[in-house]
Structure 1
Amino acid sequence: MSGFLRPLTRAVTYTRWLHLLIGSGVVWVCASIYPGLSSPTPTGWLLVVLDPIPLMVVAGMVPAMRRAEGLQARMMLFPGPHARGEGDEADPGISVAASGSWRERARTAAWLVLRLEVGCATVLLTGQLIGSVFMVLGATDEPPESDGLILPVSYLGWGGLPLALLLVLAEVLMLVAAGWLITWAAPRLLGPSPAERLAALEERTEQLLERNRIARELHDSIGHALTVAVVQAGAARAAADPEFTDRALEAVEETGRAALEDLERVLRVLREDGRPASGRPTLTDAERLLESARASGAEVDAEISGPVERLPGPVSREGYRMLQESLTNVLRHSGPVPVRLRITVDDARLVMDVRNTLPRATSSTGRGGGSGLRGIRERATLLGGRATTGPLDDGQWQVHVELPLG
């Protein structure tokens, strides 16, 4: 029973009724001009509901009308969480953009006609039901021949109270049904067009891609700096050598300064303050990563061949991040172990191969699911290449990347 009466307690039931009443206003304006509302014949009533249709079709052809109707529908048909179920803040699916095509104009015109006719029917039925309630209860002194009611009723005294209650209930149910109908039609006639949906999807996709890119940037740069700092601090404490400690602190300082530069650049992008962000590092800056790894105790055997400086910008920048994450992965999981790095550049592709010895206590599969390695594979895929990571038969861990240059 409470579910049956719930619509009576929701404000949206009555805002939808008001929305329909406003939409039917043009009917009564036109009818007051022709054929009149004093005592219309059945043919006159037909003209009352049909005359405004051409006007609604013309209004629907105005591009701004779709925006006006969309805003009004959002406010009155879907005014708050109570209109869509408690706690549901989902978009009702109503466009607030002007019509951009003839198809959208036609849908707007159909919406205006539907709103007008449903509103007109709601007003007429409301008048009939309320008038019948007044007649049954004797609240009017109009003679039966001038009361304007289609179904003749008469005063029943107190015995008419149950009938009056039924008429009031029918009135409320009619309002709920009319509100449901217009709410059901609104997303279908005022909803986003396929072009608008595609544009919104593309914008959302771009936002997600940018967020993922920034997350990878922060993970790689800040993660590398923290890993180097932890390894250097541990090595300095274990060595108890003032000279080694000085070198370790110097390496931590340089790595931290580079990480702060990366962080400032990412924050500038997020703030969108209009100032140019500092350039992202490329593979021409790889020596900085190698020195940082060597300063942490790793024995890096590096061999770089080919015109690295002539690599396309995206390939060179993403290659730097892949190398950074590979070295970070070595220091984080294996410590200062020997590392073999080979970078080869030719006319067709960039090949990067990083291998390191796995400590005996390290599981051969323990590093396959990290976000850093997943980021390497994602970067390679976005550039049309491929990346493989995992243990080799000789007890080493490999990160192998191939990126096309075409």
Structure 2
Amino acid sequence: MPGFLRPLTQAVTYTRCLHILLGSAVAWVSASVYPGLASPTRGGWLAILTLPVPLMVLAAMVPAMRRAEGLQARMMLLPGPHARVKGEDGEPGISVAPSVSWRDRGRTALWLVLRLEVGCGVVLGIGQLIGLSFAMLGAIDEPPETDGLLLAAPSAGWANLPLSLVPALAALALTVVSGRFMTLAARRLLGPSPAERLAVLEERTEQLLERNRIARELHDSIGHALTVAVVQAGAARAAADPEFTDRALEAVEETGRAALEDLERVLRVLREDEKPASARPTLTDAERLLDSARASGAKVDVEVTGPVERLPGPVSREGYRMLQEALTNVLRHSGPVPVRLRIAVDDARLVMSVRNALPRQTTATGRGGSGLRGIRERATLLGGRATTGPDEGEWQVHVELPLR
């Protein structure tokens, strides 16, 4: 089928036409009262087109009118489930939110007036073209003075039969063109306001931040468990001692169980709209991290000063993840080596330091991989700072977080 005829086979072409015709209903209802539809003069036609305008403007002042017009436009101007604008990241091109500003009310008023005038014009245009086509076929036997046509039909003849298709095709073309025009106008006048676009952008930003946080949670928890399992398996094979192998398997089991609990917490965050703070471990739960590291063969020397249990929730939760990644980094790159952990809490800040011997083959630059980068990012988000890298022959992870 030729491309220019394809719109005639699409249902949306005719739902758009219906939407346009409904937009002029107010004009025809008011015209039936005044000045009448029998044989209006030029002044009467002007009254038909202008008298409903104040009513349209007044209706646009109601905030819910914008929502109603947006819903109508989506259902009738856009083809059903395809009511999204290409090139706008899947966002709807027509808003269904009520008016919240005078700018929204003004755009709605302009839309209602445009819908009224275009509807009247399309009704008159299609009526004239279809009437002309019937007149050319001889279906109208009234004299030209009373048939209401602006264009006179040609004299009767055999050529009128094929020529009568021209006004009919013109009416179809007017239907297609006016429908597309009103669709573009709807996206302009009923599209999201700047405030709505900003709200959508903020929501999308929140979603991206949440995804990034969940990715860090999974990286820290699962990465720690896998690192412990790998270290334990390697140590057990090297030791070739059944008793040590049993202890290693027990440590792998405990670490795996803790990782499953962490995974369940993360999945609960994905399933629930409200994310309870208690669903994530805090520094008061750090003992299980230390037990896991010790079970892997690392000798962990711990010194804690200050009330860790009184830390603010965000600081304590992020501090736990930083400690987890620091210990994972030790086991992954240095193996079961002595580790010194210092945690100090005062009225203003949390200071946490993890130090261990550098591996002999290290060429560390202090930048680290995604895990250490995640520690620095967490600290920055909380208004603190984190440094990682070699220091006096040891590797250190030093974190300072403000409590306020």
Which residue of structure 2 lines up, in the alignment, with residue 380 of structure 1? 379
Please state whether the residue corresponding to 1:145 is helix, strand or coil: coil
| Deviation, structure 1 residue 3 | 4.1
Which residue of structure 2 lines up, in the alignment, with residue 125 of structure 1? 125
Please state whether the residue corresponding to 1:147 is helix, strand or coil: coil
Which residue of structure 1 lines up, in the alignment, with residue 402 of structure 2? 404
| Deviation, structure 1 residue 163 | 4.2
Which residue of structure 2 lines up, in the alignment, with residue 294 of structure 1? 294
| Deviation, structure 1 residue 146 | 1.8
**Residues in 2 aligned to 1:216 and 1:273: alpha-carbon distance in whole angstroms:** 19
Please state whether the residue corresponding to 1:91 is helix, strand or coil: coil
Deviations 1:195-235 (A, max 9, x none): 33333333333333333323322332232223212321232
Query: Where in structure 2 are there 5+ consecutive unaligned residues?
Result: none
Deviations 1:47-89 (A, max 9, x none): 1111211222222222322221111111111123667689998
Q: Which amino acid aligns with 1:191?
A: G
Please state whether the residue corresponding to 2:255 is helix, strand or coil: helix
Q: How many residues align?
A: 404
Deviations 1:136-167 (A, max 9, x none): 33343232222211122224534245644443
Answer yes or no: is the 8 Å Cα contact 2:85–2:93 preserved in 1. Answer: no
Which residue of structure 2 lines up, in the alignment, with residue 195 of structure 1? 195
Q: CA RMSD in A?
A: 3.1
Please state whether the residue corresponding to 1:353 is helix, strand or coil: strand
Alignment of 1:29-44 (within 5 A): 29-44=29-44
Deviations 1:164-187 (A, max 9, x none): 444334323322221222112212
**Residues in 2 aligned to 1:346 and 1:277: alpha-carbon distance in whole angstroms:** 23
Q: Which amino acid aligns with 1:144?
A: P
TM-score (norm 2): 0.87
Using a 3 Å threshold, how does the CA distance of structure 1 residues 197 and 102 change in structure 2: closer, same or farther?
same
Which residue of structure 1 lines up, in the alignment, with residue 136 of structure 2? 136
**Residues in 2 aligned to 1:18 and 1:273: alpha-carbon distance in whole angstroms:** 41
| Deviation, structure 1 residue 264 | 3.1
Answer yes or no: is the 8 Å Cα contact 2:301–2:339 preserved in 1. Answer: yes
**Residues in 2 aligned to 1:79 and 1:23: alpha-carbon distance in whole angstroms:** 19
Using a 3 Å threshold, how does the CA distance of structure 1 residues 155 and 296 change in structure 2: closer, same or farther?
farther
Which residue of structure 2 lines up, in the alignment, with residue 364 of structure 1? 364
TM-score (norm 1): 0.87
Which residue of structure 2 lines up, in the alignment, with residue 392 of structure 1? 390
Please state whether the residue corresponding to 1:399 is helix, strand or coil: strand
Using a 3 Å threshold, how does the CA distance of structure 1 residues 178 and 41 change in structure 2: closer, same or farther?
same
Of 137-146 and 36-45, the range deviating more from structure 2: 137-146
Alignment of 1:101-250 (within 5 A): 101-155=101-155, 157-160=157-160, 163-250=163-250
**Residues in 2 aligned to 1:377 and 1:123: alpha-carbon distance in whole angstroms:** 66
Please state whether the residue corresponding to 1:191 is helix, strand or coil: coil
Answer yes or no: is the 8 Å Cα contact 1:93–1:191 preserved in 2. Answer: yes
- The answer on 1:49 being equivalent to 2:53 is no
Please state whether the residue corresponding to 2:136 is helix, strand or coil: helix
Using a 3 Å threshold, how does the CA distance of structure 1 residues 369 and 87 change in structure 2: closer, same or farther?
same
Deviations 1:5-39 (A, max 9, x none): 44333322221111101111111111111111111
Answer yes or no: is the 8 Å Cα contact 2:84–2:93 preserved in 1. Answer: no
Please state whether the residue corresponding to 1:297 is helix, strand or coil: coil
Using a 3 Å threshold, how does the CA distance of structure 1 residues 5 and 92 change in structure 2: closer, same or farther?
farther
Please state whether the residue corresponding to 2:145 is helix, strand or coil: helix
Which residue of structure 1 lines up, in the alignment, with residue 264 of structure 2? 264
Alignment of 1:261-340 (within 5 A): 261-272=261-272, 278=278, 280-340=280-340
Answer yes or no: is the 8 Å Cα contact 2:343–2:353 preserved in 1. Answer: yes
Using a 3 Å threshold, how does the CA distance of structure 1 residues 192 and 210 change in structure 2: closer, same or farther?
same
| Deviation, structure 1 residue 101 | 3.6
Q: Quick one: percent identity of the two aligned structures?
A: 78
**Residues in 1 aligned to 2:265 and 2:52: alpha-carbon distance in whole angstroms:** 60
**Residues in 2 aligned to 1:200 and 1:88: alpha-carbon distance in whole angstroms:** 12
Deviations 1:102-158 (A, max 9, x none): 433333222211111111111111111112222233343232222211122224534
Using a 3 Å threshold, how does the CA distance of structure 1 residues 376 and 275 change in structure 2: closer, same or farther?
closer
Q: Which amino acid aligns with 1:285?
A: D
Q: Which amino acid aligns with 1:90?
A: G
| Deviation, structure 1 residue 343 | 3.3
Using a 3 Å threshold, how does the CA distance of structure 1 residues 281 and 84 change in structure 2: closer, same or farther?
closer
Q: Which amino acid aligns with 1:383?
A: L
**Residues in 2 aligned to 1:66 and 1:300: alpha-carbon distance in whole angstroms:** 65
Please state whether the residue corresponding to 1:146 is helix, strand or coil: coil
| Deviation, structure 1 residue 396 | 5.1
Deviations 1:277-324 (A, max 9, x none): 745332233333222112112233444444434332211211111010
Answer yes or no: is the 8 Å Cα contact 1:286–1:320 preserved in 2. Answer: yes
Of 265-274 and 52-61, the range deviating more from structure 2: 265-274
Of 293-302 and 341-350, the range deviating more from structure 2: 341-350
Query: Where in structure 1 are there 5+ consecutive unaligned residues?
Result: none
